[in-house]
Amino acid sequence: MTSTSLAEVKCTKCKKVYETDVVDHIDLSEDRDLINALKTGKANRVQCPKCKKVMYLNRSIVVNFEPENRIVVFDPAARTKAAKEDFIQDFHSVISFNETLSEIGEETEFLVISKIDKLKTMLDDYLKAYK
């Protein structure tokens, strides 16, 4: 299931501030129709209601590769080791909350990537394996 949230966006053209739904999480076993948007970087495409300027937001998106027990955070801004470590620490904080989450976390591969080409490759491999 796709999870979205409301985000405040400032148009780069007319400077209007508006709210829009953005994608936070995608479960590939349920949302295959979003794979192309992920591969092209258009999953968080927004359009200004005033001037109609189209923008692509650089936001983190969590991609759940089920049934592979793999969670990938795609964040174009997470280019440094420190930035990636912050996501990994957050993941470990969540899974250490209770015994059930700890067991699931131990069985789950967790990756943080910042390059769209790597995400494309992973998505293509997923599609080949689970058509």
47-98 pLDDT, tens per residue?
999 999 999 998 999 999 999 999 999 999 999 999 999 999 999 888 888 8
CB atoms within 10 A of CB 120: 15
pTM assigned to the model: 0.86
> What average pLDDT does range 117-125 have in this prediction?
95
Average pLDDT taken over every residue of the chain: 92
Closest CA to 95 of 111, 110, 78, 85: 110
Q: What is the DSSP string of 55-114?
A: EE----EEEEETTTTEEEEE-TT--SHHHHHHHHHHHHHHHTSSHHHHHHHHH-EEEEE-
> Residue 24 has what pLDDT?
94
CB atoms within 10 A of CB 17: 10
> Does residue 1 register a pLDDT over 70?
no
